Amino acid sequence: MIVLIGPMGAGKTTIAGLVAERLGMTVRDTDHDVEAAEGRPISEIFVDSGEAAFRELERTAVAAALATHEGVLAVGGGAVLDPATRDLLAGHDVVFLRVGLSESVKRVGLGTSRPLLLGNVRGRIKALLDERTPIYESVATLAVETDGRAPDEIADEIVTALAATA
């Protein structure tokens, strides 16, 4: 499985589709899978059940996707915080999509209603980037810069880099 990880707004969903298209593969996205399984939006799961409950649902979604799907998987931005989820990803091609603070804020939008970003969106994203970047680095088998680059160019780089290591 080709797994895409990275912060909010890194382009996981966008790039997963483009990589899958290039390789003739199908795509899954754990954010979508969790929402479909729960029948409610992620923001509601966070508010009603809490982040820990969401991370458990996310782990189940990652495990199910890895067990049943062969293709490209976009994983929720915080999934790698969970050690058991990190273990599940071992042995797969894991691509870290890098994004800088300003670009992430721009892509997510200052008016976002994501529970983890409530209050000061830029400050919250900065804290998440600082906390998570070392984790993304440790899990990834390939890291790709996305700032100032078009999605098609990023997808091409990933496909070329994976072909070189296959």
Ligand X SMILES: Nc1ncnc2c1ncn2[C@@H]1O[C@H](COP(=O)(O)OP(=O)(O)OP(=O)(O)O)[C@@H](O)[C@H]1O
Ligand Y SMILES: O=C(O)C1=C[C@@H](O)[C@@H](O)[C@H](O)C1
Residue nearest to ligand X (CB): 11
* 31 counts as binding ligand X under rule CB under 6 A: yes
Q: How far is 139 from 108, CA to CA, in rounded Å?
A: 23
Pick from Mg ion, ligand X, ligand Y, none: which does 27 bind, CB < 5 to 8 A by kind? none
Which among 58, 106, 117, 47 has a CA at the least distance from the CA of 82? 58
d(CA 141, CA 87): 14
Write out the two tokens for 59. Answer: 């782990």
Spatial neighbors of 117 by CB under 8 A, at least 6 apart, are: 8, 108, 124, 125
Please, which residue, 99 or 165, has the CB nearer to Mg ion? 99
Q: Which of 101, 116, 89 is nearest to 4 (CA)?
A: 89
Q: Is 12 in the site for ligand X (CB under 6 A)?
A: yes
> Is 40 labeled as ligand-binding?
no
* Among Mg ion, ligand Y, ligand X, none, residue 10 binds (CB under 5-8 Å by kind): ligand X
The nearest distance, CB 15 to ligand Y, in angstroms, is 13
Annotated binding site: 9-14, 31, 55, 77, 114, 132, 149
Chain residues that interact with Mg ion, rule: CB under 5 A: 12-13
